[in-house]
Amino acid sequence: MNIGIVGYQGDVSEHVEILYKLSKQYKRDIDPVLVRDKKALTYISGLIIPGGESTTIFQLLKEFDLFNAIKVLAQHRLYVMGTCAGLILISKDDPLSRVRGMGLLDVKIKRNAYGRQINSFSETIDIEGIGKFKAVFIRAPIIEEVGDVITMGKYKDVPVIVRSERFLGLTFHPELTGDTRIHEYFIEMIGRGGYISTPRRVWNVEEFV
């Protein structure tokens, strides 16, 4: 199974390492694919949009014609996980923000709501289907409103991890803990959709975008 990671900026290598660890630990055929252009989308069944500078990642996605390509493929059957900045990018579009949302997850986001990087912190939260997990919050957004999604975990009664049928969104950074369980959960979401391995082409991207 090929899992793409948007590879411009942010915690890219950390997600790659988690996926390699998961592949080795569970003896699964999981291959990370750095996504920097539309061609890379051709061979992936799932995509991770990492944390980082949401404005920078958004601008690069637009520059390389990936923003709309990801959005359209996700509306068909591409699975997407967004962490921190990645969640902002897959949430509802906020016309007042410099960062456009793809509208994949029915949530409204407030950027950098926990303060500057100096205000970063970690907290153990209880996540449905996963258990207790050390969540690392770095310049994290807040989920202000939830619509048609399932809230899997909260911090101080505020949702911090939500999902829908094909999409998983987190305000924190699971890739910084070395704990593979959230990534494993995402892999299992894809597997339930019928994707076991992807050595072959998954998409003819030009048919969709």
Catalytic residues, which ones? 84, 173, 175
The answer to whether residues 90 and 104 touch, using CB atoms and an 8 Å cutoff, is yes
**Whole-number Å distance between alpha carbons of 32 and 38:** 16
**Whole-number Å distance between alpha carbons of 111 and 184:** 27
Give burial (CB, 10 Å; 0-12/13-18/19+) of 76: exposed
Q: What is the DSSP string of 110-147?
A: ETTTT-SGGG-EEEEEEETTTEEEEEEESS--EEEEE-
Tokens of 40: 């890379």
